[in-house]
């Protein structure tokens, strides 16, 4: 799929954005990555992409970076913060600035926003959510992502807007899943949300595949798509998969969710600048049991067909952690 169109990727120094920059390059796009002065270069492709210095808070830098760009892949944002205003400043405010810069740059035809299942909120009764259902985010993060989606949809007359809402993403380079795997390997079984917690998930390569498909979507009508691997998982199923990969000694000792939850809240209260404080917003999500979505629309309209289920995806991710010396 050769494509010499100029694209810009925001968030390319992050987990998903770095995979996307590589995938776009592989598909023949000219890729420009928006990078902050402070961004780590560690995950960026070593060659074949152009770097543009900029910040979501600085419209002039964004406009400059967008020179000649036809397609914007917007992944930059705050996934963890202590305060509501921090999420909103980066996610809604940053998206609004980027949209304004894209309008003023004058060349952008397509704007793809990577939102999140958190923007839609949990399923009230465990049925996989569909895009046409009303969004009811329960965290500051989710509310800020929904607000960013709405900013993008306001620009439907300016460019073709596509919104992608991935469920929990894992894969090589993901530090969140690494923590779960490390605990499992040490023998611990920690299940945020407690018994019965059920979630959708997908491998980062399937996310990048769907983003590429969204970039080739016909028609200019705005559209929203959930992304997941098509299954839903409980922690019990997840630990069974981890035991198959890591051995029987993994995940033997259970840390009761109520205890873990209390410790995190206490630590966050006592040490407001500690990592625990950054998880308080996540805990708002964890008090809801069902984080599941239906990917029928992405299958039908984007031709999305996930290649990984959790078992294969986790196995390959753990192999990557080992080879990279992370585990
Ligand atoms: N990971 C998941 O499970 C998941 C699931 C659903 C949706 N998403 C969405 O996918 C996107 C990428 O997530 P991720 O997990 O890859 O996050 P990540 O690793 O934390 O990366 C975030 C990226 O955003 C950039 N960024 C943050 N604030 C910025 C600013 N003011 N100006 C320019 N760049 C800025 C960061 O740059 P620096 O390197 O400079 O900090 C980094 O490149 C996010 O929008 C997230 O909401 C993620």
- For residue 307, the model assigns a pLDDT of 98
* Residue 127 placed within a domain: yes
**Position 181 pLDDT exceeds 80:** yes
Tell me whether residue 191 is in a domain: no
Range of the domain at 60: 6-173+201-230+292-307
CA-based nearest residue to 109, from 145, 68, 79:
68
Contact 306, 208 (CB under 8 A): no
What span, in angstroms and rounded, lies between the C-alpha atoms of 290 and 202? Answer: 16
Pocket-testing residue among 10, 14, 78, ligand 1, by greatest number of atoms within 8 A of Cβ: 14
| Run of H or E residues at 321 | helix 310-323
Q: What would the mean pLDDT of 20-42 be, rounded to a whole number?
A: 96
pLDDT in tens, 59-103: 999 999 999 999 999 999 999 998 999 999 999 999 999 999 999
Query: Does a structural domain hold residue 39?
Result: yes
pTM: 0.96
Residue 43 lies in a domain: yes
The preferred substitution site among 8, 9, 10, 16 for testing ligand 1, maximizing ligand atoms within 8 Å of CB, is 16
Counted domains in the chain: 1
Share of the chain above pLDDT 70, in %: 99
Best mutation site among 11, 18, 204 for ligand 1, i.e. most ligand atoms within 8 A of its Cβ? 11
Percent of the chain with pLDDT over 90: 84
Domain assignment of residue 244, yes or no: no
Tell me if 281 is assigned to some domain: no
Say if residue 7's pLDDT is above 70.
yes
**165 within 8 A of 112, measured Cβ to Cβ:** no
At 35-71, the pLDDT tens digits run 999 999 999 988 899 999 999 999 999 999 999 999 9
pLDDT tens column, 214-242 = 999 988 899 999 999 999 999 999 999 99
Residue 32 has pLDDT above 70, yes or no: yes
Mean pLDDT of 14-22: 97
> CATH no. for residue 63?
3.40.50.720
pLDDT per residue over 274-295, tens digit each? 878 888 899 999 999 999 999 9
Q: Is 80 exceeded by the pLDDT of residue 2?
A: no
Burial category of 324 from C-beta neighbours within 10 Å (exposed 0-12, middle 13-18, buried 19 and up): exposed
Residue 3 — very low, low, confident or very high, per pLDDT cuts 50/70/90?
Answer: low
pLDDT at 124: 97
Ligand 1 — pocket residues by CB below 6 A? 10-11, 13-17, 34, 36, 38-40, 55-57, 75-79, 90, 94, 114, 116, 145, 166, 168-169
Asked, for residue 285, whether it belongs to a domain, the answer is no
Residue 214 within a domain: yes
1 falls in which pLDDT band (50, 70, 90)? very low
Greatest distance between any 2 Cα atoms in the chain: 58
Atom in ligand 1 nearest the alpha carbon of residue 11:
43
């Amino acid at each position: 799929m050769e494509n010499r169109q100029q694209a810009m990727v925001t968030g390319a120094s992050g987990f998903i954005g770095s995979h996307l920059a590589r995938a776009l390059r592989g598909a023949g796009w000219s890729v420009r990555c928006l990078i902050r002065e402070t961004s780590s270069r560690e995950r960026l492709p070593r060659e074949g992409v152009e770097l543009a210095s900029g910040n979501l808070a600085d419209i002039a830098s964004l406009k400059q970076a967008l020179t000649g760009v036809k397609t914007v892949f917007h992944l930059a944002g705050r996934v963890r913060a202590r305060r509501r205003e921090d999420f909103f400043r980066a996610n809604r405010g940053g998206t609004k600035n980027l949209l304004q810069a894209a309008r003023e740059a004058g060349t952008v035809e397509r704007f793809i926003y990577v939102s999140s299942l958190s923007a839609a909120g949990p399923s009230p009764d465990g049925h996989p959510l569909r895009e046409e259902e009303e969004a009811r985010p329960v965290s500051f993060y989710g509310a800020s992502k929904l607000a960013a989606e709405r900013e993008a949809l306001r620009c439907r007359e300016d460019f073709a807007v596509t919104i992608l809402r991935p469920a929990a993403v894992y894969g090589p380079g993901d530090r969140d899943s690494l923590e779960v795997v490390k605990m499992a390997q040490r023998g611990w079984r920690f299940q945020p949300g407690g018994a019965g917690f059920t979630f959708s998930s997908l491998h980062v390569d399937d996310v990048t595949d769907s983003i590429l498909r969204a970039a080739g979507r016909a028609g200019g009508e705005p559209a929203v798509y959930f992304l997941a691997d098509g299954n839903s998982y409980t922690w019990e199923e997840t630990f069974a998969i981890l035991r198959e990969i890591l051995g029987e000694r993994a995940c033997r000792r259970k840390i009761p969710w109520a205890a873990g939850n209390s410790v995190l809240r206490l630590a966050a209260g006592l040490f407001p600048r500690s990592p625990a404080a950054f998880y308080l917003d996540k805990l708002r999500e964890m008090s809801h049991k069902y984080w599941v979505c239906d990917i029928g629309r992405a299958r039908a309209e984007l031709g999305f067909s996930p290649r990984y289920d959790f078992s294969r995806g986790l196995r390959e991710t753990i192999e990557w952690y080992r080879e990279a010396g992370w585990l």
